């Protein structure tokens, strides 16, 4: 009988990153005139180069759960943005995806002056659902979030827990083949909701989905990831099983603290 690692290796590659580099150019000083602003648009001489990613190559297979860890500024979120197509890599880099890709972040797109109903439509649209799909899932989202009595209430009057429940409920009802999760996971809200959200993640969400998860929660990574990638200053320092990779990450953290 094949184990999970063997099964994954036999599946198709749904994300392929080839020679991914990303450099940002930042102004060294503030432009004081319109002439300087125009000049800065076309000139890189007065801009500081920030190398966010260097030579990242990666293959992710269907149904795999890949974790990405690294200190703040290591390039994790930049990599997700490149995968989803929000920003391009440097010339020569290539991103190939096979399937519908969504990026999840709790509360993404929330407008405090809009009602729960309006925010559901806004957020779900951002996640790629059509208005017809949102309409069909609206009742399930509200019921799961336990906000039946607050549908028309503006989100600015919600508690932090209510916002978390609403964001989580929208996300788990999104339909995609590949999920890019930026500091997003189950276990939000009060104890009852934490239990419910964790169960749906483990039973209905994680199973069968291809997931790339960026997080500082090493406990989550160790529990759910098939593989773990360590990024440091935009470079891949390690990629492999969590038990093998986490000690490397801990060593990087220790060196930075000295």
Superfamily of domain 103-214: P-loop containing nucleotide triphosphate hydrolases (3.40.50.300)
> Which CATH fold topology does 4-36+48-98+225-257 show?
Rossmann fold (3.40.50)
8 Å CB contact between 15 and 65: no
- Local confidence pLDDT in tens for the 258 residues of the chain: 778 888 888 899 999 999 999 999 877 555 556 666 655 655 555 567 889 999 999 999 999 999 999 998 999 999 999 999 999 999 999 999 998 887 776 556 689 999 999 999 988 887 778 899 999 999 999 998 899 999 999 999 998 778 878 888 887 787 778 888 887 655 555 677 777 777 776 665 667 789 999 988 888 888 889 999 999 999 999 999 999 999 999 999 888 776
Residues of the chain with CATH 3.40.50.300: 4-36+48-98+225-257, 103-214
Question: Cα(235)–Cα(73) distance, rounded to whole angstroms?
Answer: 11
The pTM assigned to this predicted structure is: 0.79
Question: Cα(158)–Cα(172) distance, rounded to whole angstroms?
Answer: 20
């Amino acid at each position: 009988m094949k184990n999970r690692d063997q099964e994954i290796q036999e599946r198709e590659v749904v994300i392929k990153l080839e020679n991914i580099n990303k450099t940002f150019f930042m102004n060294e000083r503030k432009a004081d005139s319109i002439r300087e602003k125009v000049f800065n648009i076309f000139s890189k001489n007065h801009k500081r180069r920030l190398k966010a990613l260097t030579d990242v190559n990666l293959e992710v297979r269907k149904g795999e759960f890949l974790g990405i860890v690294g200190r703040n500024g290591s390039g994790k979120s930049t990599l997700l943005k490149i995968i989803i197509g929000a920003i391009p890599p440097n010339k020569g880099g290539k991103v190939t995806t096979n399937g519908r890709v969504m990026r999840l972040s709790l509360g993404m797109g929330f407008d405090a002056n809009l009602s729960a109903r309006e925010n559901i439509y806004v957020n779900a649209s951002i996640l790629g659902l059509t208005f017809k799909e949102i309409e069909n899932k609206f009742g399930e989202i509200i019921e799961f979030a336990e906000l039946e009595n607050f549908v028309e209430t503006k989100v600015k009057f919600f508690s932090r827990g209510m916002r978390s429940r609403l964001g989580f409920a929208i996300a788990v009802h999104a339909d995609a083949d590949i999920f890019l999760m930026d500091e997003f996971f189950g276990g939000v809200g009060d104890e009852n909701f934490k239990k419910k959200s964790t169960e749906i993640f483990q039973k209905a969400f994680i199973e069968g989905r291809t997931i790339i998860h960026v997080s500082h929660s090493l406990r989550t990574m160790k529990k759910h990831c098939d593989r773990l990638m360590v990024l440091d200053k935009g470079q891949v320092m390690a990629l492999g099983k969590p038990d093998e990779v986490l000690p490397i990450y801990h060593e990087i953290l220790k060196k930075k603290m000295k």
